[in-house]
Chains A and B, each alone.
Chain A
Amino acid sequence: RKEVEQDPGPFNVPEGATVAFNCTYSNSASQSFFWYRQDCRKEPKLLMSVYSSGNEDGRFTAQLNRASQYISLLIRDSKLSDSATYLCVVSEYGNKLVFGAGTILRVKS
């Protein structure tokens, strides 16, 4: 079983749509949780951290369910510029990051 599992997609959505991504992780000792964004042929960049209380950054909302070992990302009012691969990431001891394989989002006009 992979440590971090995501639906690879692609998710093809029209501009203005709301889209949700989910991921699950296997290590219950994981300490911190994140969503990274990776544009085609570019390096990953931190999109946002994820907390059990839920957190929002503009059009992006992330949620963590520790009991179910489940992380989600909701994007509202999708823009063309949101097209990218979204990587679910968990942090283990010593700042070690474990990445999922990513979910591809394509926003179309």
Chain B
Amino acid sequence: EAGVAQSPRYKIIEKRQSVAFWCNPISGHATLYWYQQILGQGPKLLIQFQNNGVVDDSQLPKDRFSAERLKGVDSTLKIQPAKLEDSAVYLCASSSLVGSYNEQFFGPGTRLTVL
């Protein structure tokens, strides 16, 4: 079974530029998550989708971050404009259900460097 796919794996941009990340979850997984992991910290949930609806975006900096999952499958996360403090690894995860615990499977992440 294929795992969670993410692209690009690495991205270097200058502050105030825009960037987008893509995620394709495990086939059949209804729930998709985006996490931000800053060096030396644990992953922090940015947004959680159930199919194409948002379940939790309470920690998403909505003035600059946006995410969508239009067809309930793959998802994009955008930052516009980027700040230096956005340098981090952006992890996508998916699980089969929400409501009761189901294991989340993580993709390899996109490492973003903002100069």
Contacts and interface: CB of A to CB of B under 8 A. Distances in A.
Interface string A1-12: 000100010000
Contact of A99 (B40, B42, B109): B42
Contacts of B45: 96-98
A102 B43 CA distance: 10
A64 B97 CA distance: 24
User: How many B residues touch the partner, as a band?
Assistant: 20 to 34
Interface in A67-109: 87, 89, 91, 94-102
Contacts of A89: 42
Interface in B87-106: 91, 95, 97-104, 106
Contact of B91 (A4, A31, A43, A95): A43
Given A31-B101, A99-B43, A94 B106 contact: no
- Most central of A8, A44, A45 by chain B CB within 10 Å: A44
Interface residues of A, number: 21
What are the nearest 7 A-B pairs in CB distance?
Answer: A99-B42, A43-B106, A32-B101, A95-B98, A101-B42, A99-B43, A101-B41
Interface of B: 31, 33, 40-45, 48, 55-56, 91, 95, 97-104, 106-109
Interface of A: 4, 8, 31-32, 42-46, 87, 89, 91, 94-102
